[in-house]
A and B are shown apart, each in its own frame.
Chain A
Amino acid sequence: MDSVEINQRHTRQLGLTYSFLSDTRAEVIRRYDLLHAGGGPGGTDISRPGEFLVDKQGVVRWLNLTDNLSVRARPEQLLKAFDEMSGKTAAN
């Protein structure tokens, strides 16, 4: 929900090259049913964490909706999801 300006500052400071999209009115957050009403600083609305791996046709092939804020997807889990999606097996 951060603004374009905040995202620009963040990505430049951290040297990030991937896209940071700004959803200031939480429209997409709501479309994905990820709104955590009152869960943000000062009781503001915020997104709950969520990750979705989407293929070329726009279909969700993997997702992670943690039930604990402290526990997020590890890079190994994501890489495994990528491998499974591309048809690689453990034997390859």
Chain B
Amino acid sequence: MNRRFNWPIWVGFLLVLAGLLTYPFFVQFPVTRDFPWANLLILLAGAFVLGDGLVRAFRQREIYHGRILGSALAVLSLFVIGFFAFAAFYVVRQLPASKGAPHLGQKAPQFTLPDQDGKPVALADLASANWAVLLIFYRGHW
């Protein structure tokens, strides 16, 4: 009797890949960016389905293929999940303490820098001409 194709190991692995690759999509929305629960759910679903496939491959080896392939996909999936966890929970927190940044109630350090038209802009001028100034130090990178 021909053994059946073990679809759970493939679907599980694809879900794990999707859990990682959909990060640039979900990161656009603060609700799924602040804590990556959407990606974690997809990764978890993938792990469960792949796990189910492995169980079938090992416990029902007369019926299902997939012991070797399933094990390889499982190891790859562990790497993918590990990489995601590392990037999403460790790397993003590697920021300097910035203890020397101005505190509440302190005067913001003065500066003059060119704007997008090359015109010099001084903080003191912005502050006196407006009700308040919001300084955003924008980091356009992970």
Interface residues of A (CB under 8 A from B): 2, 4, 7-8, 10-11, 19-23, 27-29, 31-37, 39-41, 46-63, 65-72, 74, 78, 82, 85-86
Contact = CB atoms under 8 A, between A and B. Distances in A.
B109 A48 contact: no
Chain B interface mostly = loop
A65 B98 CA distance: 8
Given A54-B123, A82-B132, A41 B137 contact: no
A69 B132 contact: no
A5 B123 CA distance: 21
Interface size bucket, B side?
A: 35 or more
Contacts of B117: 4, 8
B36 interface: yes
Contacts of B123: 54, 58
